[in-house]
Structure 1
Amino acid sequence: MPDNTTNATEAPELSVEQQLSALLGNSDEFFLLMMGCFVFLMQAGFAFLEAGSVRSKNTTNILLKNILDVCIGAISYWAVGYAFAFGTPSNLFIGHGHFFLEGIEGSQYAHWFFHFVFAATASTIVSGAMAERTEFSAYLVYCAVLTGVVYPVAAHWAWDPKGWLLTGVGTGLSFQDFAGSGVVHILGGTAALAGASVVGPRIGRFQHGKPVQISGHTVPLAALGAFILFFGFLAFNGGSQGAISNPGDGVVVALAITNTIISGSSAGLIAMVIKRVGLLGDLHWSLLTTLNGALTGMVAICAGCNNVYPWAACIIGVVAGVAYCGWSQLILKVLKVDDPLDAVAVHFGGGFWGVIAVPIFATEGGIITSGGSAMAFKGLGWNILGGIAIAVWTGLITTTMFGFLRLAGVLRVDPEIEEKGLDIPKHGEPAYPQESYGHGWVLETPEDKLPKCRAKDTEYPPDYSHGDPSKMLAMTHPASMAIPRPSVVTGVPMTDLGFDNEGYQEPIHNTRL
């Protein structure tokens, strides 16, 4: 291992103050990098959540899209995104310097990385809302535009010292969004709404104007993804302090993390109870509703996690849980928008409530703590204006972009591919290859003793569409369909097992060989 330490006789001697200053600077950069790495892990959380929420035939497709959030996002944000967001020189609207990171100081690399993972988060919100029917090439385009142009401009407005929302353009007001309820989540939710609206619903999602449930293929995977996101949000919000070396930094980071978990927990509980009492149409203790409610609470607290008391974080979470349920019903049943992940309800609904909540509950200068001062109400108005501005900016750019992609015929896959699944025709890599299931012992079982699968009184031969027939002999046995033995399966849709979309499996009795 090479010795990278500087020879003391060759380097100029530093004073104690200079050494201390360098140490503090290094600690701040290390803090940003480590928090950025934890936020980067949220990409895995989104990948698992989205993969579990789509059907098995589209799993590879959605996972690859999440990988490309990182790949395309990194290149776009390196080339132009960071320059638009924080480049110098700049004006009220946009930065225009340091393209390809040229000319930046060494200490800014950590800043670039932390904001890159924020940009990637905004981008990945969209992929879930448009899942299972969007052309892969269209995804490449909107990922580059979102991370390279749309997000950086909004970030400049709210977080750059010269941005118009932060400076207040002479009003004496400043946009309050500590960790991105507006910049990340309103933006991502608006883009998701635009994309899902323009691409249209999945085949079979609505019949005669009424929504039809299309379930994801694995709830455990979705739950794992949500837990990873919970962890990532702690760094997402705590790391937004940007430093750890100044007096009081540790307290702010701790408060942000504490408020994040309180808000998320209260929102998850409220959403679960709303589902259980039947306000959403049925009476169940729903895992998925609880997960989405908790995520909405964490989205909502982003804006003010550093500037509200824990009791206020609990209230913000409660309202966020209610907001999630309301937005979810509005998007699906009123607007008739098909959003497989409920991304619009979680991110747009939670984000907008978050930017409203900060001026109300802020520990200093909030409407409640100031006794309803005029300045506090002006701050509320400025935050609402900022949220609307971000939504309008994002909506104009993304709706135009998706509209052009649709007119060009490259936004949505063919109906046949959508019905059969994107994994095989688009990627040649099914997430669950059928030849990988089962075992060779079935070959010793007499043919007449093998149970048969029937769909609407029609016998179906083994499905060889996913592999070589020589590898598929074991598929004649129900065990190859990943049904535990012994078991009875009745009335299960066989869409993902080689049956047509209308077929149902008759009872199968698996017997131990």
Structure 2
Amino acid sequence: MSVTASQVHGAVQTLTQSSDTLFLLLGAIMVFLMHAGFAFLEVGTVRHKNQVNALVKILADFGISALAYFFIGYWVAYGANFFADAQTLSQGNGYELVKFFFLLTFAAAIPAIVSGGIAERARFYPILVATFFTVGLVYPVFEGMIWNGNFGLQAWFESQFGYGFHDFAGSVVVHGVGGWIALVAVLFLGMRKGRIRAGKHTNFAPSNIPFLALGAWILCVGWFGFNVMSAQTLNGISGLVAMNSLMAMVGGIVAALIAGKNDPGFIHNGPLAGLVAICAGSDLMHPIGSLITGAVAGALFVYLFTYLQNKTKIDDVLGVWPLHGVCGAWGGIAAGIFGQTALGGLGGVSFVVQLLGTLVGIGIAVGGALVVYGIINKVSGLRLSEEDEFNGADLAIHKISATSDD
């Protein structure tokens, strides 16, 4: 029995589609696992009376994010919906469905980022409402602009400067947007009770360093799915992305180790700062440029977090604005610096475009968050009562503590 060329082509095409689908599914699972990292990082940082709330918030936020992104956000960003029959949806081995799952895990990172900033004093259901609108509307607007060419922003960049805005895995699209949304939410909520004593700032020590470290490790491992698998196909996979992610992580560790003076909280957040910053240019930079990018991010996090906690009334519990907002913005700009061929990069990127695109992302995040959190704050309020905050979110909201009294 002879095999025709068309049959061979069809078999190869089917194998390629199946392989790409599996590849992207594994990436989606790895990024989904990162949400456990977000949860344990927060659990280890907040006080004991707020640990249950930290765990519940991350999982509840993911559920609300999935609904918002499924029905609204994915349509806003990519003009696609899921109202066809199952046979139509599953064509091509269901690659488009797995792509949705993968991008959903990115979208759901927005409220996971916010959660760390607003910990210990936020009401539960108003924050879930905010999650629905930030994931369903605010985030997809910028996501669609950058990753789908919506509203002509990328076309304008290309016509004016010769290059579009480059953000391979979301330094600005995901982390920058999430961090700047978090800053707005933190400002609406104000400082936790007891932070100012006798006119001086008082910092609450992390409740569980092993849990904090576990969260950081989970995030570090999952980040290689976040970055490498942003190629979305086996054919597009790049060892350069993996190497650059590794070197940026190392740069963040070393910089935080030095700048943070051996503080375990800083050391475990340092690699995360480096990984946030490298997302945008991980497919362009030379590994040495990535090392520098990560080191700058690690130092930025330490100094900004220390300044916020000791000198301002911005009570960002996990430091998500410096970690994701500022380091994410730095990553977008760094791609325009170290992505240049003169500095060993692959080129095809403009510093001016990277700067402008980053500012657009920040503007959309801040503007959208002001509307969402401003309206919710007016309608229902965002903050727990003073008594509930004193007792802790675990008992006030969930009626149970993290550990028994036995």
Deviation at 1:359, TM superposition (A): 1.4
> Which residue of structure 1 aligns with residue 175 of structure 2?
185
Matched letter for residue 243 of structure 2:
T
Structure 2 contact 284–345 (Cα < 8 Å) conserved: no
Deviation at 1:211, TM superposition (A): 2.0
Give the counterpart of 1:20 among 12, 26, 32: 12
Structure-2 separation of matches of 1:388 and 1:33: 32
Give the counterpart of 1:130 among 118, 132, 136: 118
> Which residue of structure 2 aligns with residue 234 of structure 1?
224
> Which residue of structure 2 aligns with residue 506 of structure 1?
none
Matched letter for residue 168 of structure 1:
W
Secondary structure at 1:42 match in 2: helix
> Which residue of structure 2 aligns with residue 433 of structure 1?
404
Structure-1 separation of matches of 2:84 and 2:367: 28
Q: Which has the higher contact order (CA 8 A, sep 6+)?
A: 2
5+ long unaligned stretches in structure 1:
1-11, 88-96, 277-284, 436-513
Alpha-carbon distance change, 33 to 209 in structure 1, aligned in 2, over 3 angstroms: farther
Structure 1 contact 82–99 (Cα < 8 Å) conserved: no
Structure-2 separation of matches of 1:17 and 1:230: 39
Q: Which structure shows the higher helix fraction? A: 2
Structure-2 separation of matches of 1:425 and 1:325: 32
CA RMSD of aligned residues (A): 2.2
> Which residue of structure 1 aligns with residue 35 of structure 2?
43
Return 338-347 or 328-337, whichever deviates more: 328-337
Matched letter for residue 143 of structure 1:
T
> Which residue of structure 1 aligns with residue 278 of structure 2?
301
> Which residue of structure 1 aligns with residue 95 of structure 2?
107
TM superposition outliers: structure 1 runs of 4+ over 4 Å: 99-105
Q: Does residue 32 of structure 1 match 2:24?
A: yes
Structure 1 contact 32–239 (Cα < 8 Å) conserved: yes
Deviation at 1:410, TM superposition (A): 2.6
Give the counterpart of 2:385 among 398, 414, 417: 414
Give the counterpart of 1:328 among 284, 305, 310: 305
Structure 2 contact 285–344 (Cα < 8 Å) conserved: no
Structure 1 contact 199–411 (Cα < 8 Å) conserved: yes
> Which residue of structure 2 aligns with residue 176 of structure 1?
166
Structure-2 separation of matches of 1:366 and 1:157: 26
Deviation at 1:407, TM superposition (A): 2.2
1:146-185 equivalence runs, <5 A: 146-162=134-150, 164-168=152-156, 170-171=159-160, 172-185=162-175
Q: Does residue 398 of structure 1 match 2:373?
A: no
Rg comparison, structure with higher value: 1
Structure-1 separation of matches of 2:82 and 2:47: 40
Matched letter for residue 317 of structure 2:
P
Structure-1 separation of matches of 2:328 and 2:83: 30
Deviation at 1:429, TM superposition (A): 1.8
For residues 204-246 of structure 1, the C-alpha deviation after alignment (integer angstroms, 9 at most, x for no partner) is 11236532111221111111010000001111001101110x3
User: How many pairs does the alignment contain?
Assistant: 396
For residues 478-504 of structure 1, the C-alpha deviation after alignment (integer angstroms, 9 at most, x for no partner) is xxxxxxxxxxxxxxxxxxxxxxxxxxx
Q: Once the two structures are aligned, what percentage of the paired residues are identical?
A: 34
Structure-2 separation of matches of 1:107 and 1:266: 35
Secondary structure at 2:120 match in 1: coil
Normalised by the size of structure 2, how large is the TM-score? 0.92
Normalised by the size of structure 1, how large is the TM-score? 0.73
Structure 2 contact 203–309 (Cα < 8 Å) conserved: no
Structure-2 separation of matches of 1:421 and 1:168: 50
1:85-484 equivalence runs, <5 A: 85-87=77-79, 97-98=80-81, 106-162=94-150, 164-168=152-156, 170-171=159-160, 172-207=162-197, 210-244=200-234, 246=235, 249-250=236-237, 252=238, 254-276=239-261, 285-362=262-339, 365-366=340-341, 368-369=343-344, 379-435=350-406
Structure-2 separation of matches of 1:209 and 1:315: 39
Structure-1 separation of matches of 2:294 and 2:186: 27
Matched letter for residue 386 of structure 1:
G
Structure-2 separation of matches of 1:358 and 1:332: 29
Structure 1 contact 175–382 (Cα < 8 Å) conserved: yes
Deviation at 1:30, TM superposition (A): 0.8
Structure 2 contact 286–345 (Cα < 8 Å) conserved: no
